[in-house]
A and B are shown apart, each in its own frame.
Chain A
Amino acid sequence: MNDDDSKQATLAYALRLGDDSLVLGQRISEWVSNAPFLEEDIACGNVALDYIGRARLYYGYAAELAADGRDEDDFAYLRSAREFRNYLIYELPRGDFAFTQVRQLLVDLFNTGYLAALAGSRDATLAAIAAKAIKETRYHLRRSREWVLRLGDGTGESHRRTQKALDDLWGYTHELFEPDALELRLAAAGTGVDTAALKPEWKRALAAVLNEATLSLPADDWAVRGGRTGYHTENLGHLLTQLQSIHRAYPGCRW
């Protein structure tokens, strides 16, 4: 890889991570003023902000690498759904509270391994963002784990809904651990993370929580893929329509 190739690859990689963070941050923020009680409402706002903050850091770095006048707002607000490269699991509608917390547990466990690995990246900026973000993710994980325990091992109704959320989400977890050529290239160069290597520990940690929560690990009998190639569910378009509407209606507007 020559310098320019490697720069373009890192730019694409930073955008993927920015897209993951932005889309999930937007989804979580939908709970603000709708969460089951006040403290939880505030928690959702806090976690959403952490993700939006991450998106800004990744997009800011992407803008620096692109060096073509585009800034973080251009990446967040002026790209279409096909240009977004987030994993599909992040764009799924928030569902009920069990769905939101099960998704959070799945991705918090994923990010715990991912960010720890990325913190050792040879790319100093990616390493610094990851070292910062992992501290926040440890807090997120503590909360999502507690919620899944409480809901899974709760009433018949909460158990049923939590197991259903897990079953409905399961097919979207596979692509998290299927790095494409770009990701493998960057992992080999010591810049990126080979997510396939994270799967055994992720599954082990997840099984431990599910066991305590009296939930069962679903069977691997279906999978949906496409986020990293830009083939999304219809939900991303709806999410972006809302997220981007003000910026597109009033280009360049500031608070």
Chain B
Amino acid sequence: MNRAYIDRCRRREQSALPALWDLLDRVRDPEIPVLSIWDLGVLHDVAEEQGRVVVTITPTYSGCPAMETIRSDIEQVLGEAGVGPLEIRTRLAPAWSSAWISPEGCARLREYGIAPPEQCAADADGLTPDAGVLCPRCGSADSRRVSEFGSTACKALFRCNACGEPFDYFKTI
């Protein structure tokens, strides 16, 4: 279990605003709707500062267009619940890592047909490997990377040699 995830769980457990964390579970990655921003590791903290609710998020990739949607969805969900005034803060350091995805998030990704970024599946540089990712359809490890870059910034494209199907892999970064 990674340190960043444990720290995030602790912030949520010890938060003075547990209901807001629960509300924000409704905000999903617009491109991978099985993942909430909590699962994805984008939601860093929810706190109150001088009468304002401050939601802090860590962007995934520098140019990920989903971040804009996520910001406006946070405003909408909290706005509809009458929460305010609201400030959404972007936090760049430490940089987001695929290791921050929650264990539940990894399970949901696999179920959804996307191979999650498992620790075992990084190569020596800590990048996406060129083979050996478990196929989310048949479970075989006999797979190869077709492309480093997939349908969104966070995914690489693989093919399973056992069942012959192509699949997305949530990139190790």
Chain A contact residues, CB within 8 Å of chain B: 25, 39-40, 42-43, 45-54, 56-57, 124-125, 127-129, 131-133, 135-136, 138-139, 142-143
B-side contacts of A56, CB under 8 Å: 62-63
Contact check, A133 vs B149: say whether CB atoms are below 8 A apart. Answer: no
Closest to B58 in A: A132
- Cα separation A170 to B51 with both chains bound (whole Å): 57
Known contacts: A53-B63, A139-B173. The answer to whether A42 contacts B95 by CB under 8 A is no
- Cα separation A132 to B153 with both chains bound (whole Å): 14
Contact check, A124 vs B93: say whether CB atoms are below 8 A apart. Answer: yes
B-side contacts of A52, CB under 8 Å: 63
A-side contacts of B153, CB under 8 Å: 46, 49-50
Contact of B62 among A45, A57, A138 (CB under 8 A): A57
Known contacts: A129-B92, A131-B95. The answer to whether A51 contacts B149 by CB under 8 A is no
B-side contacts of A46, CB under 8 Å: 149-150, 153
Chain B contact residues, CB within 8 Å of chain A: 59, 61-65, 92-96, 125, 127-128, 146-151, 153, 157, 171, 173
Contact check, A139 vs B92: say whether CB atoms are below 8 A apart. Answer: no
Instruction: Say how far A29's CB is from chain B's closest CB, in angstroms.
Output: 11
Contact check, A132 vs B95: say whether CB atoms are below 8 A apart. Answer: yes
Contact check, B61 vs A142: say whether CB atoms are below 8 A apart. Answer: no
Instruction: Say how far B152's CB is from chain A's closest CB, in angstroms.
Output: 8
Closest to A47 in B: B149
Closest to A46 in B: B149
A-side contacts of B151, CB under 8 Å: 42
- Cα separation A43 to B127 with both chains bound (whole Å): 16
- Cα separation A129 to B91 with both chains bound (whole Å): 10
B-side contacts of A135, CB under 8 Å: 95, 173
- Cα separation A57 to B64 with both chains bound (whole Å): 12
Instruction: Say how far B113's CB is from chain A's closest CB, in angstroms.
Output: 18
Contact check, B63 vs A51: say whether CB atoms are below 8 A apart. Answer: yes
Contact check, B93 vs A131: say whether CB atoms are below 8 A apart. Answer: yes
- Cα separation A110 to B127 with both chains bound (whole Å): 19
Contact check, A53 vs B127: say whether CB atoms are below 8 A apart. Answer: no
Known contacts: A127-B93, A142-B127. The answer to whether A132 contacts B146 by CB under 8 A is no
Contact check, A132 vs B148: say whether CB atoms are below 8 A apart. Answer: no
- Cα separation A132 to B149 with both chains bound (whole Å): 17
| 25 residue pairs bridging A and B, Cβ less than 8 Å apart | A42-B147, A42-B149, A46-B153, A49-B61, A49-B62, A49-B65, A50-B153, A53-B61, A53-B63, A54-B62, A54-B63, A57-B62, A124-B93, A128-B93, A129-B92, A131-B93, A132-B62, A132-B92, A132-B96, A133-B62, A136-B61, A139-B128, A139-B171, A142-B125, A142-B127
- Cα separation A136 to B62 with both chains bound (whole Å): 9
